Structure 1
């Protein structure tokens, strides 16, 4: 049974270093009103109590008993065993905490934990950008369809995920799509995350505006400054997001070279996409150069901005043509134009994570 038609209820959580967002999902739809509480990441006992109380509040709000708990936690983790490792943003878990088994003991149902970036992309593959784009291609009469989705989240950190033909791809150590540790194009001695997150935008703005990092506005305000709707250094604001786009675009190019699928972007910084998405596409469509000076495309495919109506139209139209099978009257539709599209989350990051967590739990339950 597909997740959108399933009547079972799964309790979910999107865990961040600052807040825990609790919810429950039935049939890919919210089964209760989501709510957020401080994570209390500085104190293990208080943090664990917060988790248990949050899930109890969700359970008590449901008309039917949940069949599982399934939620997102940043790595490093032993996700299969439900053990949380040494997290930078949740320091109280250092040393390894068996969170999944603890919740199973308390609630008497299976508890599944996954990487937040993975679940975000899984949700978008099930009910977000991937089916949205394939639906647009069908309406446009194109024979092209996409099965693979790569995605990134831009927030406190820089996360990623991959789905292949409808299945979450975690790798042998559940370390696939660890994009945060790709090389930073603009500062090769640092990981990409240092150029692709909240603090990266603030750091770049502070440098361009000639102020201390501690005095830099929040990214939302920097975006409004860049748009001209808030007073500030507009040139510095625009440059800070263009810089982020260049770093993110470089990291995405490395991943898309291997994945060859659509790409989706979410996370707390994603609302500023009008200022950074063009830079990402510029990087994806840039060239390398051989020693002879000959230009070589960065990607084998042409990348399109799916949020731009003109680019979307070209992407959907492609280069579809009708060809004849030699020696017969049989004809086929053929589109020889290799292309990928980059778009923003169609579900919202937290909702995508919840739907991904829901689908993963149902798959696990049905396979046992």
Structure 2
């Protein structure tokens, strides 16, 4: 069965057709984040229709914000000023006549890893996306746990040191603390630049502290890392584990797995997994 996956970001929207865990076709286009909510939705519909395939059974969407998942209402997107209250589910269902499911973009990463990737055999795990920001998706008892208004797992906003976890565990850390882009630090580390290696070692310590917090709250079996910063994992893996090793409950540590997820197009696949998950839930009820 074909499913349409949509990843709505602050600067671009990615849309793709997924079947059997494979991306068949996709398109990307600017978000028009400075435009009215109606113009952005019209642009989204045009992007979907440009794929020229209308055989999908549903549309799954990841959005960086708060979502009333039952009614498909998107609230208060920080980087899209006009999206204060958008009835996106109704708008798209009225147009395309197929079911629409929406959740937070960090949840999409975790659900994609669970459905198509390294998380298939785990009952409880956390998916962390580290890029411009810091996002967390929670899989509990084999299902996505998104909480009220899809807000569960917003650990990046928790105070840490003089700022927040996101300030020290996302791309902000490289830019604000060291005046470099994360990609620049990675490139310098690849060349053996000592300063870059030290920066990534420091980053690993901060991320380890964030993961310890997750262990106290959620006690997951595994933590999967994604987003652009995860490309540098080999350079901060040791310092991360050194930090996590200070967690007092050793039996939990002994079974904990921390690794990167290398699935391509995980945002689109994860969005499609929303529809797959809904189909399974319906089948289980009957």
* TM-score above 0.5: yes
For this pair of structures, how many residues does the alignment match? 282
User: 5+ residue gaps in structure 2?
Assistant: none
- Distance of 1:364 and 1:43 partners within structure 2: 37
Name the structure 1 match of 2:173: 200
Name the structure 1 match of 2:145: 169
- Contact 2:14–2:27 (CA under 8 A) maintained in structure 1: yes
1:344 aligns with 2:260: yes
Matches within 5 A, 1:95-110: 95-110=84-99
Matches within 5 A, 1:119-158: 119-131=108-120, 146-158=122-134
Note closer, same or farther for the CA distance 1:261–1:354 as it changes in structure 2 (3 Å cut).
same
Residue-by-residue CA offset, 1:97-123 (whole Å, 9 max, x unaligned) = 111111111111111101111121122
Name the structure 1 match of 2:27: 35
Note closer, same or farther for the CA distance 1:11–1:156 as it changes in structure 2 (3 Å cut).
same
- Contact 1:14–1:353 (CA under 8 A) maintained in structure 2: no
Match of 1:239 among 194, 198, 207: 198
- Contact 1:150–1:259 (CA under 8 A) maintained in structure 2: no
Between structure 1 and structure 2, the one with the greater Rg is 1
Q: C-alpha displacement at 1:239, in angstroms?
A: 3.1
Q: C-alpha displacement at 1:351, in angstroms?
A: 4.9
- Distance of 1:148 and 1:97 partners within structure 2: 32
- Contact 1:24–1:34 (CA under 8 A) maintained in structure 2: yes
- Contact 2:60–2:273 (CA under 8 A) maintained in structure 1: no
- Contact 1:150–1:256 (CA under 8 A) maintained in structure 2: no
- Distance of 1:43 and 1:153 partners within structure 2: 27
- Contact 1:195–1:247 (CA under 8 A) maintained in structure 2: yes
Match of 2:221 among 236, 250, 261: 261
- Distance of 2:108 and 2:252 partners within structure 1: 27
Note closer, same or farther for the CA distance 1:272–1:298 as it changes in structure 2 (3 Å cut).
same
Note closer, same or farther for the CA distance 1:112–1:127 as it changes in structure 2 (3 Å cut).
same
Name the structure 2 match of 1:363: 280
- Distance of 1:102 and 1:13 partners within structure 2: 15
Which segment drifts farther, 44-53 or 10-19?
A: 44-53
Note closer, same or farther for the CA distance 1:122–1:259 as it changes in structure 2 (3 Å cut).
farther
- Contact 1:121–1:356 (CA under 8 A) maintained in structure 2: no
Q: C-alpha displacement at 1:199, in angstroms?
A: 2.3
- Distance of 1:89 and 1:299 partners within structure 2: 39
TM-score of the two chains, using structure 1 as the length reference: 0.70
Q: C-alpha displacement at 1:126, in angstroms?
A: 2.2
- Distance of 1:299 and 1:224 partners within structure 2: 37
Provide the secondary structure at the position in 1 that maps to 2:257: strand
- Distance of 2:145 and 2:153 partners within structure 1: 9
Name the structure 2 match of 1:142: none
- Contact 2:3–2:59 (CA under 8 A) maintained in structure 1: yes
Match of 1:191 among 161, 164, 179: 164
- Contact 1:68–1:109 (CA under 8 A) maintained in structure 2: yes
Name the structure 1 match of 2:207: 248
1:111 aligns with 2:100: yes
Match of 1:228 among 191, 212, 230: 191
- Distance of 2:215 and 2:20 partners within structure 1: 31
- Distance of 1:364 and 1:165 partners within structure 2: 14
1:24 aligns with 2:17: yes
- Contact 1:10–1:358 (CA under 8 A) maintained in structure 2: yes
Note closer, same or farther for the CA distance 1:355–1:261 as it changes in structure 2 (3 Å cut).
farther
Residue-by-residue CA offset, 1:117-139 (whole Å, 9 max, x unaligned) = 112112212221124xx5xxxxx
| Aligned CA-pair RMSD | 2.2
User: 5+ residue gaps in structure 1?
Assistant: 1-7, 135-145, 207-215, 287-296, 304-337
